[in-house]
Chains A and B, each alone.
Chain A
Amino acid sequence: NAGVMQNPRHLVRRRGQEARLRCSPMKGHSHVYWYRQLPEEGLKFMVYLQKENIIDESGMPKERFSAEFPKEGPSILRIQQVVRGDSAAYFCASSPNQGLNSGNTIYFGEGSWLTVV
């Protein structure tokens, strides 16, 4: 997990609040992915972003969830009006420009653990 930085590591929110999770990819990586690890469900793809573009958000819940990767700064996963079911570990990953076809590998960050009380 060489260099993908996520923060906060742990976040507690009350129902109805907003959660913002940040991810800085490895140096030189411009592809960012978010995965969610729900209890008893394993790791699931949520969204794939490149700078200023959402490439694939097919794994994102239709409501309350959004993601961005601005030209400057980290990628942000935003969850509005959190509910208890949003409690999970959220992992960010990054890969080099060419993606998986070119022999590259996805490296994950340490994860952000969201607890909704």
Chain B
Amino acid sequence: AQKVTQAQTEISVVEKEDVTLDCVYETRDTTYYLFWYKQPPSGELVFLIRRNSFDEQNEISGRYSWNFQKSTSSFNFTITASQVVDSAVYFCALSVFNDYKLSFGAGTTVTVRA
């Protein structure tokens, strides 16, 4: 069985601060896929990134960056120079090879104050 742990329930920062969201996963499969989704106050789920287990390159997209470390089973997400529009719940999710179900973490609520 797969498990995703997002230990941080809530994070509150002031605008322009950096914020890092932790995600730790558990799986016995050697091929798996990791995702981050954003759920803003309006409620929709917005896809942010997908990472395959065989690709350990870190990725940067604008103010967002992701640090994938297989050795610690972590896939952390950093928002640099946060903005009020970044306020949302962020979910980390995991799926394994030949499966289609996503196992979600409990989510981290990020509040960015002006």
Seen from chain A, the residues whose Cβ lies within 8 Å of a Cβ on chain B are 1, 31, 33, 35, 42-45, 48, 56, 59, 89, 91, 95, 99-101, 103, 105-111, 113
Given contacts A42-B105, A45-B101, contact A91 B45 (CB under 8 A): yes
Set B47, B91, B97: member contacting A101, Cβ < 8 A:
B97
C-alpha spacing A41/B17, complex, angstroms: 29
A23 to chain B, nearest CB (A): 13
Contact check, B44 vs A101: say whether CB atoms are below 8 A apart. Answer: no
Considering only CB atoms and an 8 Å cut-off, how many residues of chain B contact the other chain? 25
**How many inter-chain residue pairs (CB < 8 Å) link A and B?**
59
Q: Are A103 and B52 in contact (CB under 8 A)?
A: yes
Report whether over half of chain A's contact residues are helix, strand or loop; otherwise say mixed: strand
A95 with B100: CB separation less than 8 A: yes
Instruction: Looking at the assembled complex, report how far the CB atom of A115 sits from the nearest CB atom of chain B, in whole angstroms.
Output: 13
Given A42-B107, A100-B95, A103-B52, are A110 and B43 also a contact pair (CB < 8 Å)? yes
Q: Please give the distance in Å from B4's CB to the nearest CB on chain A.
A: 9
- B residues with a Cβ closer than 8 A to A are 33, 35, 37, 42-47, 50, 52, 91, 93, 95, 97-107
Within the complex, the shortest CB–CB distance from A112 to chain B, in Å, comes to 10
Assess whether B52 is in contact with A107, with CB atoms less than 8 Å apart.
no
- Bound CA span A41–B98, Å: 26
> Whose C-beta in chain B lies nearest to the C-beta of A89?
B43
Q: Are A113 and B35 in contact (CB under 8 A)?
A: no
Closest A residue by C-beta to B31: A101
| A99 contacts B100, C-beta separation under 8 Å | yes
